[in-house]
Amino acid sequence: MVVLASVLGVFDISLDKLSNGELWLAQFFRGLSDGATYASVALALVMIYKSTGFINFAQGSLALLGVYLAYIFSVEQGLPVALAVVCAMVASSAVAMFVERVFIRPFPPDHVLPLVIVTLGLLLIIDSAVGIVWGFRTRSLPSMFPSGAPIEWGIAQLTWRTIGNLGTVFAVVGLLYLLLSRTKVGLAFRAVSSNLESARLVGIRVGPTLGFGWALAAAIGTLGGALVVPDLLLEPSIMLRVLIFSLAAAALGGLDSMVGAVIGGLVVGLARNLLVTFLDLSELALATAVAVILVVLLVRPTGLFGSTRVERV
């Protein structure tokens, strides 16, 4: 009892909080909402990982650029937010294809390390460029979804935004699944990731296939960013923080699993909100993400749904 009491004391856990059902439910909903946003950015990471076998650090920066474009289109040009986000997705895809063509394609696709370094460099360059062009002051981007909550229990609200975030993520996963499993470009995409040499030998043009992957991932990342940013404020380092949660989500789910990215995102979102509320750890929110990455790497490096490569000899 003494030990328990001291543990509760250290973390400042009050039994009032723990027995407050409404608070649990409120944080559960918030967790789902945050989780959906992490999941959508994690999906972009998984897309690129599946095709290239490496984590593309520039992904967060391309999403950042996309979100700034969405801000310009909606707040400054007056487009409806949803339309502005779609335009920004198209624009960031175009930038991603350009970046891939100029900075990535000259490197052999099977030499992962130089490519990872290049994406890290791109992250720094794009983030700085965004800062130089748009400045470092914070801005707020409105949400694509209406405010208000159709369902309420006391302080626990299931808001339109939570519903919208979740719906968007499930729609994206569904569309990606269909694209990868039912279309020719999806087959090319998976063939390139499975065996680069054989992909060439069946006539797949590897460069454009990877360029398409970059474009698609940038579009998804931009969409994810447009879900995240209304909860926070838009400034040049915002996606870096989101990227850490999304990396944790992707690592937890398994880096090559889209379903894993969604479940990983939701778990990280829930863990973050529940831990922060009940353990009073708001300073350590980022640390929970890093802790998830560490534990996954130690206990189950392939994540919950990642595939161990089966290959008989």
Partner 1 sequence: MSSTYLEVRGLKAAYGDIQVLHGIDFSVDEGQIAVILGANGAGKTTTLRALCAMVSTEGSVRLGGEELAGQSTADIVRRGVAHVPQGRGTFPDLSVEENLMAGAFVRTDADVRADIEQWYETFPVLGERRTQTAGSLSGGEQQMLAIARALMLRPSLLLLDEPSLGLAPMITRALFEQLTAINEEAGTTMLVVEQNAALALGVANQAYVLEAGEMALSGPADELAADDNVRRAYLGY
- When asked if residue 111 is in the footprint of partner 1 (CB under 8 A), the reply is no
199 is an interface residue for partner 1 by CB under 8 A = yes
The C-alpha atoms of residue 90 and residue 222 are separated, in whole angstroms, by 9
Q: Distances from the Cα of 56 to the Cαs of 10, 30, 45, 309, in angstroms?
A: 39, 28, 7, 21
Binding mask 281-310 for partner 1 (x = CB under 8 A): --------------------------x-xx
| Residue owning tokens 């965004």 | 130
Please select the residue that binds partner 1; options are 135, 198, 233, 295, rule is CB under 8 A: 198
Q: With contacts defined by CB under 8 A, how many residues of the chain interact with partner 1?
A: 23
Distance of alpha carbon 229 from its chain centroid, rounded?
Answer: 12
How far apart are CB 203 and partner 1 at their closest, in Å?
A: 3
Query: 178, 205, 286, 297: which one contacts partner 1 (CB under 8 A)?
Result: 205
Q: How far is CA 161 from the centre of its chain?
A: 17
In the block, tokens 């054989």 appear at 198
Q: Which of 5, 203, 298, 299 binds partner 1 (CB under 8 A)?
A: 203
Site for partner 1 in 135-194 (CB under 8 A): 184, 187-188, 190-191, 193-194
Q: Of the two residues 22 and 110, which places its CB atom closer to partner 1 in the complex?
A: 110
Amino acid found at 281: L
Q: What is the DSSP string of 64-98?
A: HHHHHHHHIIIIIT---HHHHHHHHHHHHHHHHHH
Q: Which residues of this protein are in contact with partner 1, per CB under 8 A?
A: 184, 187-188, 190-191, 193-195, 197-205, 307, 309-313
